[in-house]
Amino acid sequence: MTGYVTNIEDDTLANQDYRRVLFTGRNTQLVLMTLQPGDEIGLEIHEEHDQFIRVEAGMGEVSLDGEKHTLSDGVAVVIPAGVEHNVVNTADEPLRLYTLYSPPEHPDGTVHRTKADEPPEH
């Protein structure tokens, strides 16, 4: 593949899956995520990956090394490798976001319809 072009806002707002990998390059991966009310990613640390998150719809909270920040439409978060983090949907509607991992985090083409579909080692 020579590149990837899409309307990321439309894709993110239409996404019904917990996780959907859209593009995987050698150094970067583009992933859509939708967290249902009360769902969370779960506390995690990416030792080798930087991560960028952009919220397109909904409300939530991100914790970065224990410091909490409010998420809403238009908010962007940069998570350097080694930072303990979690994203929680705190609203009554889906939290829709896209994220970039550098380098890629998930196998190309990954789709998890719900968080329960995620492998236990993640």
What is residue 11's predicted lDDT score, i.e. its pLDDT? Answer: 98
3-class DSSP assignment, residue 67: strand
- 34-70 pLDDT tens trace: 999 999 999 999 999 999 999 999 999 999 999 999 9
Q: What is the pTM of this model?
A: 0.89
Domain regions of the chain by residue span: 8-117
| 8-117, CATH topology level | Jelly Rolls (2.60.120)
The predicted model gives 82-86 an average pLDDT of: 98
Peptide bond into 103 cis (omega under 30): yes
pLDDT > 70: percent of the chain:
96
Cβ–Cβ under 8 Å, residues 94 and 37: yes
| pLDDT above 70: residue 120 | no
